[in-house]
Chains A and B, each alone.
Chain A
């Protein structure tokens, strides 16, 4: 009987999970993941919207390297922790710099600092690298430096946007259009890197007219600060690694008649330059669309971007089509049969 098979679901689910656990067991330790797959760990923290290198590594192990699933583990965990409060605001101008480049200027105050990067590595997978630098030859100064765009901003050459009176929190209230800027930035900051990259890429290939210049791209450490409950004084809680990017778009005529440069901002937890750059480009595209050539830019549509870049949501929904759908399919088939009949009983 048909029912026997369907009602076997419970047993099958259990066994399927046991099978998964045995098949993808391996013996890699979360600590090893944290130390050697650190970009994966960072990606998960940013998309999971929870800064925890420890749990992020555990999530990667639990999901056997399926990073969309790993971010999902982290988000679900977040729902079970009480939110104790709000840290002090981080300004990425105060970041302790590990890497910082600007493609807008040849030389900048503070210099172009490549940091740990394999950008200029020739990607030969089988080549062995044996490059050794004697570190002691170099100076040991700390590097803190303002954004390379600060001088232009101080001169009033950069377009300013209106600031929100209250910071939106999309995890509590998902706003309707017109979206507050703080909500837009929050959604992008926890968005899925690949989806954001694809949308940002469309703006460079004719679906929009963003031709960005990287004004200031930086990775480094920022302090998380809170208030000591018994002394009421500021106390440092943590250092978090993060990435920020300011990209420059183009000229735009302002309401007051002046002409200014448009810019976009990107920030995310962990070291993730591609995501921060994508976010900055999407930011330009969303807020500077009025002078775009052509109207077919999908990345300047707030609804388009804000509803389609969350990895946990898009992955969950796309995968739900694996669930049984025979009731709705049955109903669709009947509509097809009725339409055929309507068209003179076509065979």
Chain B
């Protein structure tokens, strides 16, 4: 099997699209998305980005739902290591590339690291404008009026946007971008990120990026607070951490318990407490 599965021409083309994406923060660059032995919608965009940038010296971490052991993360990690033999890790600090679905690691990533996010629906405008050519024009004109109307309607009815995850963000004061289905809690961590963030959508054949130290702001009215998921007053049942994104676990006796969603954070917190 060829190193990193894809043929060299494919990798070169994906890298070129990636470079363009980095040069225009938040702008969706089309690329010739290849068919992989992993199903469409299961992370093929992120996977192609990772396969095109990975080298023998890299150290890889793969997470899904905040967890290194989640079925899809295991599947993707096994596939990548089977075609590259690179070292893998669960620790954020030791990874040079982190591929993730639905979460940004709790532990802050550093300069030189790359976060690859898997994106199911890259087009932030789809819900307000289904026509692809009109979407393109709206982006070109930075015309996001329809998103603002949606936000206004939601706010007047429900007090806030109905969008829970994949909350639209303005990147570098120019393009509104779908940050992938991360919770609002994570959205704020995209702002001024030290690490390079690459977003890949395989089925929709788009790559886009947030370069290090780029301004990323959730779309909101000036007089409204951007409310993120709230777990205040809750502590992780396993490690005792608080102030992180949590999983609710409903146990048999009707009680609800909370655990860190980010399992490697939980492990590290537990270790540091026991040390």
Question: What's the dominant secondary structure at chain A's contact region?
Answer: helix
* CB-CB contacts below 8 Å: B220-256 with A: 227, 229-230, 238, 245-249
Does A2 sit within 8 A of B, measured CB to CB? yes
Whether the Cβ atoms of B35 and A328 lie closer than 8 Å is no
Bound together, the chains give a CA A338 to CA B143 distance in angstroms of 29
Given contacts A3-B263, A6-B263, A79-B35, contact A334 B229 (CB under 8 A): yes
Q: Among A9, A13, A339, which residue has its beta carbon within 8 angstroms of that of B159?
A: A339
Give the distance to chain B from A66, nearest Cβ to Cβ, in Å.
12
**Are B74's CB and A10's CB within 8 A?**
yes
Cα-based distance from A178 to B136 in the complex (angstroms): 12
Query: Is the C-beta of B99 less than 8 angstroms from some C-beta in chain A?
Result: no
How many residues of chain B are within 8 Å of chain A by beta carbon?
A: 66
A interface residues, how many (CB within 8 angstroms): 51
Task: Kindly list chain A residues whose C-beta atoms are within 8 Å of the C-beta of B229.
Answer: 330-331, 334
Interface flag for B50 (CB, 8 Å): no
How far, in whole Å, are A330 and B161 apart by their CA atoms in the complex? 16
Contacts of A307 in B (CB 8 A): 132
Closest to A327 in B: B102
Q: Which residues of A contact B159 (CB under 8 A)?
A: 338-339, 341-343
B218 contacts the other chain (Cβ, under 8 Å)? no
Contact B160 A327 (CB under 8 A): no
Which of B75, B164, B249 has the most A CB atoms < 10 Å from its CB? B164
Q: Which of A277-316 touch B at CB < 8 Å?
A: 303, 307, 312-313, 315-316
Instruction: Check A317 for interface membership: any CB of B closer than 8 A.
Output: yes
Picked from B7, B36, B65, the residue with its CB within 8 Å of the CB of A324 is B65
Are B183 and A330 in contact (CB-based, < 8 A)? yes
Are A327 and B75 in touch, CB under 8 angstroms?
no
A335 near B162 with CB under 8 A, answer: yes
CA distance A168 to B2 in the complex (A): 28
Q: Which of A26-34, A70-78, A141-149, A204-212 contacts B (4 or more CB under 8 A)?
A: A70-78
Cross-chain contact A328 with B36 (CB below 8 angstroms): no
Is A78 touching B32 in the complex (CB atoms < 8 A)?
Answer: no
Of all chain B residues, which has the CB nearest A11?
Answer: B74
Contact of A176 with B70 at beta-carbon distance under 8 Å, contacts A316-B39, A317-B40 already known: no
Closest Cβ of chain B to A81, distance in Å, is: 9
Residues of chain B lying within 8 A (CB to CB) of residue A6: 67, 69-70, 263
Which one of B5, B41, B69, B229 has the highest number of Cβ atoms from chain A below 10 Å of its Cβ?
A: B41
A132 close to B (CB within 8 Å): no
Is the CB of A7 closer than 8 A to any CB of chain B?
A: yes
Cβ-based interface call for B61 (8 A): no
Q: How far is the CA of A212 from the CA of B162 in the complex (A)?
A: 45
Taking a contact as CB atoms under 8 Å apart, the answer to whether B164 and A327 are in contact is no
In contact, B64 and A303 (Cβ under 8 angstroms) = no
Q: Is the CB of A331 within 8 A of B41?
A: no
Residues from chain B with a CB closer than 8 A to the CB of A178 are 133
Bound: A318/B39 CA distance, A: 10
| CB of A289 to closest CB in B, whole Å | 14
Q: Which residues from chain A sit less than 8 Å from chain B, CB to CB? A: 1-3, 6-10, 12-13, 72, 75-76, 78-80, 82, 171-174, 176-178, 303, 307, 312-313, 315-320, 323-328, 330-335, 338-339, 341-343
**CB pairs A–B below 8 angstroms (18 shown):** A2-B238, A2-B247, A79-B35, A174-B32, A176-B30, A177-B132, A303-B131, A303-B132, A323-B72, A326-B247, A327-B181, A330-B183, A330-B248, A338-B158, A339-B160, A339-B162, A342-B159, A342-B160
Q: Nearest 10 CB-CB pairs, A to B?
A: A342-B159, A316-B40, A7-B69, A320-B41, A317-B41, A316-B39, A177-B133, A339-B158, A332-B164, A331-B164
